[in-house]
Structure 1
Amino acid sequence: MIHLRGHHLFCLLGYRGMGYSPEYVRNMTKIHQMLRNNPKTWIKIVNGPDHLCDKFPLTEEYHCENPNIYDRDAAILAKMNLEIGQVLKWEEIESRISTHIASSDIQVVCETCTWRSLGVCEEGIDEIHQGKGLREIH
């Protein structure tokens, strides 16, 4: 079972193999591809640092505990009608994204995210709407 916080549900959609450090990228790629290849993987929604935060580099400012990150998590979970502690399969998360999320939501709920300007999260949401699932990362 993979533990994920609210905003990382969107980060996985926009993930294109970039990250904060080589170790972070390896970890995120592993989790991303696991979900891509097995959408029946169980996910537990957690409050705060998750399995992606586990590999955040010690050389960077650790933002995983910042209040604005918790606010972003809460906003995304509310839009998707998800709760802390809930356990569901990744394919169910994709289904909720298709039902409850528009790509334009990124501009609002992820307004302060430094990765937002790349536009990859909107692409990821659009691809979920098209039934494509997560992209393969090379």
Structure 2
Amino acid sequence: MTVRLRPHHLLCMLTFVGKGYTAAFTENYIRIAARLSAGEDILVVEGPDDICAPMLGEADMHCLNESVTDRDITASEAVEALLKLPAGLGALFSPDVNFLQRMRAAFGDGSIREACQRCEWSPLCTGIAASGFDGVLVEAPGCQPAYGAG
């Protein structure tokens, strides 16, 4: 199977520690983190993805807002520049050790965080990066994820 992620979620997954918008959102994201940690590939999609699914019934589906679409474009460009690989619609990534180390190093030094500007979760993610990504739930296959953190 493959986990479908929109481009800015390539950044969000780096710091996910089990906190989210709602209980349903968080429970879903924890399951996705487990799938990624088990080695499922990531398929980059346009618009709402597997992480967004619990929010799609909400009256104010922010995942359809222009600001979120702009965040996707900015994230895609940053990931492409970092990895020297396409990161737009249809791109396929494996969340292996090399991928996560490179992405987290760039996230930690701020070089791929332009898409995070004006995101309500940015302060939390900044703290997680500053802690050396302590307690994150997406780990490379074979590594022990820190479930229950946060």
Same fold (TM over 0.5): yes
Alignment of 1:5-84 (within 5 A): 5-36=6-37, 38=38, 40-56=39-55, 58-59=57-58, 61-81=60-80, 82-84=87-89
Q: 8 Å contact 2:75–2:114 — kept in the other structure?
A: no
Q: Which runs of 4+ in 1 moved over 3 A?
A: 57-60, 98-103, 119-122, 124-127, 132-135
TM-score (norm 2): 0.73
Given that 1:33 and 1:136 are in contact with CA atoms closer than 8 Å, whether structure 2 keeps it comes out as no
- Structure 1 counterpart of 2:44, which letter? I
Task: Name the CA shift for 1:93/1:3 in 2 (closer, same or farther; >3 Å).
Answer: farther
Structure 2 CA distance for aligned equivalents of residues 101 and 118 of structure 1: 13
User: For the aligned residues, what is the CA RMSD?
Assistant: 2.9
The 1-side partners of 2:7 and 2:75 are apart by 6
Counterpart of 1:85 in structure 2: which amino acid?
G
State the alpha-carbon separation in 2 of the partners of residues 125 and 6 from structure 1.
24
Unmatched runs of 5 consecutive residues or more in structure 2: 81-86
How far, CA to CA, are the matches of 1:88 and 1:101 in structure 2?
Answer: 17
CA contact (8 A) 2:20 2:26 kept: yes
- Would you say how many aligned residue pairs link Structure 1 and Structure 2? 133
Q: Counterpart of 1:112?
A: 118
Structure that is richer in helix per residue: 1
Aligned 8 A contact 1:24 1:57 in 2: no
SS of the equivalent of 2:24 reads: helix
Report what 2:147 is aligned to.
137
Offset at residue 110 of structure 1 (A): 0.7
What stretches of structure 1 of length at least 5 have no aligned partner?
Answer: none
Distance 1:12 1:103, change over 3 A: same
In 2: Cα distance, 1:55 partner to 1:43 partner: 19
